[in-house]
Amino acid sequence: MKAYVPSWKSSSKIRKQRKYRAKAPLHVKQKLTHAHLSKDLKLKYKKRSIAIRKGDKVKIMIGSFRKTEGKVDLVRLKDQKVFVAGIEITKRDGSKKQIALNPSNLMITELNMDDKQRQKILERK
């Protein structure tokens, strides 16, 4: 079976697009974890989207937790999932489990500016 082939990115076949996302190396998956910025952040930084990082405040746009805000606890690049504080389900046995969210269903409302590298990225343009 073939590994990662960059030409799959432009394919119209959904199975090749899915394979591109699944087999991509981590430096490409980092780009796939971008999320839209809120309107005021868009105007401030003149960017539409940026990579989600731990500590960012996000608003969930799609799903059963729609319009809920929370802080990002964990970003898993390997499977491109984001975990938000307070977003959890109660299992049958009473235990709680955090839900993995897709970055495309989130909107960043507040940025974690602790990292100097991130400040440089936002100042560019």
Q: Transcribe 2-41 into DSSP letters.
A: ----GGGGG-S-HHHHHHHHHH--HHHHHHHTEEEEPHHH
Least confident of 24-28, 95-99, 119-123: 119-123
pLDDT score of 91: 96
User: What confidence tens digit (pLDDT) does each residue in 73-84 have?
Assistant: 999 999 999 999
- Domain 34-123: assigned CATH number: 2.30.30.30
Instruction: Tell me what the pLDDT averaged over the chain comes to.
Output: 91
CA within 13 Å, CB half, 96 = 5
Residue 1 has pLDDT above 80, yes or no: no
User: What confidence tens digit (pLDDT) does each residue in 9-66 have?
Assistant: 788 999 988 888 899 999 999 999 999 999 999 999 999 999 999 999 999 999 999 9
Residue 35 · residue 15 · CB < 8 Å:
no
Round to whole Å and give the CA distance between 2 and 6.
Answer: 12
Judging by DSSP bridges, how do beta strands 34-37 and 106-110 pair with one another?
parallel
What is the three-class DSSP state of 119? helix
Least confident of 47-51, 53-57, 91-95, 118-122: 118-122
What is the three-class DSSP state of 117? helix
Per domain, the residue ranges of the chain are 1-32, 34-123
With residue 68 as reference, give the H or E element that holds it: none
